[in-house]
Amino acid sequence: MCPTLLSLLSLGFCVSLRIWAAMGEYEKPSLSAWPSPVVPLGQTVTLWCHSSRPFVIFRLFKRDGTSLPKLQGHSKNFTLGPVTRKHAGSYTCSASRSRFVWSDVSDPLPIVVTGVFPKPSISAHPGPLVHEGENVTFRCNSSMLLDKFILHKKSSTGHFQRCEETLTGGHAPADFVIGSMTLASVGSYRCYGSLSHSPYEWSAPSDPVDIIITGRSRKPSLSAQGGPVVTSGENMTLVCSSESAFDQFHLLKEGENLGRPLAEVRGPRGALQAEFPLGPGTPAHSGVYRCYGSFIHSPYSWSDSSDPLFLSVTGSTTSTCPSTMGPHTTEETQHPQEHSSTWYIVLGLVIAFTSTSIFLAALVCHCCSTPNHVASMEGEPMEERTVNGEDSAAEDVVYAHLDLRTLSKRQSTPASLRPMHPSAEPIIYEEFNINQDHAEP
């Protein structure tokens, strides 16, 4: 009986070892996505099924049952794309050495397709520049009726990873309150919008907003070459300098970042400085400027702010020196010539209008006096007139009452003998007969 018992115990021990070995051999694999599980519309993504066992057959499953192209083969990687809204969902994978026994499925991996909706907006309050320990609130808002927002933060690898998400109602914005800011929490943030019934379809990403801690180093100084007051058109350059050995400097105008050139220039006293050329000055350059210093290995940690520099651009530049340029002239030198030409044209038009008015007035006077002359030439009888002193100035012709049966002649006073001023004496008209004149010469 003892040998039989020993045989059964040995058999049970061997079976248990075999079972434990099989379970260890078919442990579930893991699934990952490259370059990211958040994929824009039209891009591709590669899913990797990882296992510590030498499996030869792999299968990929989409958990919602949507039909996709063949997702089974002898390779552990599966390429999806160009992705559409149908690719959005949750995926798992399994592996096997044969087609009869498969491992357990991996943990689900969500594949999110972005760009399905327009991008929302993001803002930081009280602002992107904060002191260490200060609270920051991110506000995400969308013009569409999206009831879910997801906040992402850029990781050290350069990818944005999910930080928080929240549900809202209607067009209400989503507020994400970040606690006391530290070097671990600063960085670049952006948000997405989605619908609660489509959790794997997101909007396009918002524009990123960078949260930076200031005040961790001594402040630099900011100055303007040539002074803070310049005339319009004059080239402007701002200089940020510091005794501390910063790698780069940042120039901000009323909160707007204008760039971060590297600090490669030493000033006259050995101070490290960077120049910011702003180009020809315009009224838009007027404002308050500040600069900061930082290091390349810590881009979200800046020094304290420099003292504010008030830059003013006024007036316009005028040159009093003769131009040495050839036939090409600048815009400033062309304006006086254009004004002079315009003045000459206006003056010529005034003279022409005056001359035309005088000519027309003379022509009207001539037309008014023409009927009287025509009447006397045709022999029409004219009544005697008693001309007063005012009428004598207008009439300088001696009229004679002629007989209708004879040809009349009119005598007029030569222009050279006409009086310059009207005479006070009345003009005497005589009536005579032509026949009598011939009878008595």
**What would the mean pLDDT of 283-299 be, rounded to a whole number?**
91
| pLDDT for the residue numbered 266 | 61
| pLDDT for the residue numbered 344 | 57
Residue 10 banded pLDDT, cuts 50, 70, 90: low
| pLDDT for the residue numbered 155 | 84
Residue 254 banded pLDDT, cuts 50, 70, 90: confident
Please name the residue that has the structure tokens 């029409």.
Answer: 380
Establish whether domains 23-114 and 118-213 are of one fold.
yes
CATH of the domain spanning 218-316: 2.60.40.10
The structure tokens listed for 164 are 């928080």
Strand order, beta sheet including 221-224: 221-224, 235-242, 272-280, 265-266
Residue 336: strand, helix, or coil: helix
Q: Report DSSP letters for 44-93, one per residue.
A: -EEEEEE-SS---EEEEEETT----S--EES-SEEEE-S--GGG-EEEEE
Q: What are the extents of the domains in the chain?
A: 23-114, 118-213, 218-316, 369-441
DSSP E strand stretches across 171-218: 174-178, 187-195, 198-203, 209-214
Provide long-range contacts, Cβ within 8 A and 24+ apart, for 424-429. Answer: 424/389, 426/386, 426/387, 426/392, 427/387, 427/392, 427/395, 427/398, 429/384, 429/398, 429/399, 429/400, 429/401
| pLDDT for the residue numbered 160 | 84
- Bridge partners of residue 166, in order along the sequence: 149
| pLDDT for the residue numbered 96 | 85
* Strands 287-295 and 248-253, sheet pairing: antiparallel
Q: How many CB atoms lie within 10 A of CB 215?
A: 16
Q: Is 52 left (phi over 0), alpha (psi -120 to 50) or beta?
A: alpha
Q: Report DSSP letters for 361-396, one per residue.
A: HHHHHHHHHHHHHHHHHTT---------HHHHHH--
Comparing C-alpha atoms, which of 96, 58, 52, 94 is closest to residue 76?
58
Please name the residue that has the structure tokens 């099924």.
Answer: 49
pLDDT digits (tens, 9 = 90+) for 98-131: 777 888 889 999 999 999 999 999 999 999 999 9
CA distances in angstroms from 288 to 104, 170, 252, 292, 384, listed in the order given:
64, 40, 9, 14, 94
For residues 39 and 373, give the distance between their C-alpha atoms in angstroms, rounded to a whole number. Answer: 104
> Quick check: 140 and 121 in contact, CB under 8 A?
yes
CA distances in angstroms from 158 to 31, 187, 351, listed in the order given:
21, 11, 77
Q: Is 438 left (phi over 0), alpha (psi -120 to 50) or beta?
A: alpha
Residue 357 banded pLDDT, cuts 50, 70, 90: confident
**What would the mean pLDDT of 270-289 be, rounded to a whole number?**
87
For residues 51 and 178, give the distance between their C-alpha atoms in angstroms, rounded to a whole number. Answer: 38
Residue 262 banded pLDDT, cuts 50, 70, 90: low
Greatest CA separation for the chain: 202
For residues 120 and 192, give the distance between their C-alpha atoms in angstroms, rounded to a whole number. Answer: 7
Q: Which of 210-214, 369-373, 416-420 has the highest mean pLDDT?
A: 210-214
For residues 371 and 386, give the distance between their C-alpha atoms in angstroms, rounded to a whole number. Answer: 20
| pLDDT for the residue numbered 362 | 73
Comparing C-alpha atoms, which of 121, 180, 178 is closest to residue 153?
178
- Residue 336, preceding bond cis, omega within 30 degrees? no
pLDDT digits (tens, 9 = 90+) for 378-395: 444 444 443 344 444 334
* Number of separate helices (H) and strands (E) present in the chain: 4, 27
Q: 131 φ, ψ to 5°?
A: -95, 155
| pLDDT for the residue numbered 426 | 46
Looking at residue 222, what DSSP letter applies? E
For residues 136 and 279, give the distance between their C-alpha atoms in angstroms, rounded to a whole number. Answer: 35
| CATH architecture observed for domain 23-114 | Sandwich (2.60)
Looking at residue 283, what DSSP letter applies? G
Q: Which of 160-174, 226-240, 263-277, 320-334 has the highest mean pLDDT?
A: 226-240
CA distances in angstroms from 1 to 4, 6, 8, 143, listed in the order given:
5, 9, 11, 85
Q: 377 φ, ψ to 5°?
A: -70, -35
Please, what CATH class does the domain formed by 118-213 belong to?
A: mainly beta
Examine the pLDDT at 198 and tell me if it is beyond 50.
Answer: yes
| Mean pLDDT computed over every residue of the chain | 74
Residue 74 banded pLDDT, cuts 50, 70, 90: low
| pLDDT above 90 as % of the chain | 38
